[in-house]
């Protein structure tokens, strides 16, 4: 939509006078110095007006002022008569149609997807670098720092394991956001609707409805196993989180609660809903972007046994984000889901 608002100038109806009266009015209003050619043009213009009962000339306020003045002069030169009663509904109808076009254009502009200044190359670059940094930080950097500091992960206590997980998750999140910041640096400043985080808006009901989906998401885990029975069974292992819960270590449990309910939702939502979902709208509709992002979100957890529930959860969080254009609701919903799973483990 153009930055300058359009204005519409109606051209009044050409009066339907008798031919003799029309000829006299032309003689009266026409300068005596007009040549025969000019009079012929004026007559042609009048006949065109008779054929077209009315029309609109749409122009921008910074252009076509000369044309507007010319048309106004032509109107002033014609005899002023009240428009026929039968044509008034048509004129009103024309104005209504024109207003509808303006309102429709404004609505489309407001509903327009994010303005994506980068291409698919940047999208792929960010995601590949994020996956590489996620693996490199978690598998090499943090273990190397722990080893050089004289700590062995296997020998750590429950609290030590919890703080180790917190350090790893924070480092992975910082690395991912740092990659995002670096790759998008050439495109700054970004428009205000990118990475929006605000308490304002009517998103509370969306989050509440999303929370009602949690039992269904949990149920989809069993459906996932029934749909893909050929998958190898998950190894029966006890995670560090479950060990700390079984040991009833309050400090370790509190640290793990921070990891799963604060750290992970923040950087995962910034990457998947904040960056990937809007970026994909450059090439596909919003609903397609929500589905593709949810698939990427599920694959990023590297757990085929929970693929279906994670995809569904990603769709719910993506829909909430797409409706609000705000990262806070999706982060909150993600955090509440992780807290729901954590509390379920404590039973």
Joined together, the tokens standing for residue 115 give 């303005």
Burial degree of 196 (CB within 10 A; 0-12, 13-18, 19+): middle
Tell me: do 245 and 318 sit in the same domain. yes
| CA–CA separation, 23 and 29 (whole Å) | 10
Tell me: do 130 and 65 sit in the same domain. no
| CA–CA separation, 347 and 337 (whole Å) | 16
Tell me: do 250 and 221 sit in the same domain. yes
Tell me: do 63 and 26 sit in the same domain. yes
Tell me: do 295 and 241 sit in the same domain. yes
- Please list the rounded mean pLDDT of every run of 10 residues in the chain (347 residues): 43 43 41 44 46 41 43 46 46 54 46 77 93 90 87 82 91 92 90 86 88 86 73 53 73 89 90 93 91 92 82 92 92 92 80
| CA–CA separation, 219 and 193 (whole Å) | 35
Residue 230's pLDDT is: 58
| CA–CA separation, 20 and 41 (whole Å) | 18
Which residue, among 47, 49, 55, 64, has the nearest Cα to 6 in the 3D structure? Answer: 64
Is 1 contained in some domain?
Answer: no
Q: Rg for the chain (alpha carbons), in Å? A: 34
- Out of 76, 110, 144, pick the residue that ends a domain: 110
Longest alpha-carbon distance in the chain? 111
Question: What are the tens digits of pLDDT across the range 288-313?
Answer: 999 999 999 998 887 777 888 899 99
Is 240 contained in some domain?
Answer: yes
Residue 124's pLDDT is: 94
Tell me: do 207 and 318 sit in the same domain. yes
Which residue, among 271, 273, 265, has the nearest Cα to 332 in the 3D structure? Answer: 265
Tell me: do 145 and 273 sit in the same domain. yes
Domain that holds residue 37: 6-110
Per the listing, tokens 């740092």 go with 178
Residue 87's pLDDT is: 47
Is 248 contained in some domain?
Answer: yes
Coil vs helix vs strand at 10: strand
Residue 188's pLDDT is: 85
- Out of 110, 134, 168, pick the residue that ends a domain: 110
- Out of 84, 110, 136, pick the residue that ends a domain: 110
Tell me: do 99 and 241 sit in the same domain. no
Q: Angle 327-345/214-227 helices, nearest 10 degrees?
A: 70
């Amino acid at each position: 939509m153009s930055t300058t608002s359009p204005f519409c100038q109606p051209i009044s109806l050409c009066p339907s006078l008798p031919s003799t009266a029309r000829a006299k009015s032309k003689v009266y209003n026409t300068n005596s110095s007009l040549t025969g050619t000019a009079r012929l043009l004026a007559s042609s213009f009048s006949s065109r007006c008779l054929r077209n009962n009315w029309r609109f000339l749409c122009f921008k306020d910074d252009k076509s002022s000369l044309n507007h003045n010319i048309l106004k002069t032509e109107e002033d030169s014609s005899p002023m008569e009240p428009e026929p009663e039968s044509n008034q509904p048509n004129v009103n109808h024309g104005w209504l149609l024109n207003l509808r076009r303006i309102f429709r254009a404004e609505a489309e502009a407001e509903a327009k997807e994010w303005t994506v200044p980068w291409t698919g190359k940047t999208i792929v670059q960010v995601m590949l670098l994020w996956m590489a940094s996620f693996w490199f930080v978690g598998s090499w950097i943090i273990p190397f720092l722990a080893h050089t500091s004289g700590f062995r992960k296997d020998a750590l206590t429950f609290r030590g394991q919890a703080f180790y997980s917190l350090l790893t998750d924070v480092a992975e999140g910082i690395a991912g956001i740092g990659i995002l910041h670096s790759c998008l640096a050439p495109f700054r400043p970004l428009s205000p609707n990118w990475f929006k985080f605000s308490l304002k808006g009517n998103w509370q009901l969306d989050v509440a409805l999303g929370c009602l989906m949690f039992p269904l998401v949990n149920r989809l885990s069993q459906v996932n196993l029934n749909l893909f029975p050929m998958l190898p069974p998950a190894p029966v292992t006890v995670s560090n989180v479950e060990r700390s819960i079984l040991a009833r270590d309050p400090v370790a449990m509190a640290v793990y609660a921070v990891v799963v309910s604060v750290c992970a939702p923040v950087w995962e939502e910034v990457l998947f809903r904040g960056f990937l979902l809007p970026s994909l709208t450059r090439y596909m509709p919003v609903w397609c972007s929500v589905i593709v992002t949810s698939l990427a979100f599920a694959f990023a957890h590297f757990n085929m046994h929970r693929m279906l529930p994670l995809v569904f959860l990603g769709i719910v969080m993506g829909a909430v984000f797409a409706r609000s254009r705000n990262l806070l609701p999706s982060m909150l919903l993600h955090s509440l889901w992780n807290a729901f799973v954590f509390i379920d483990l404590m039973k």
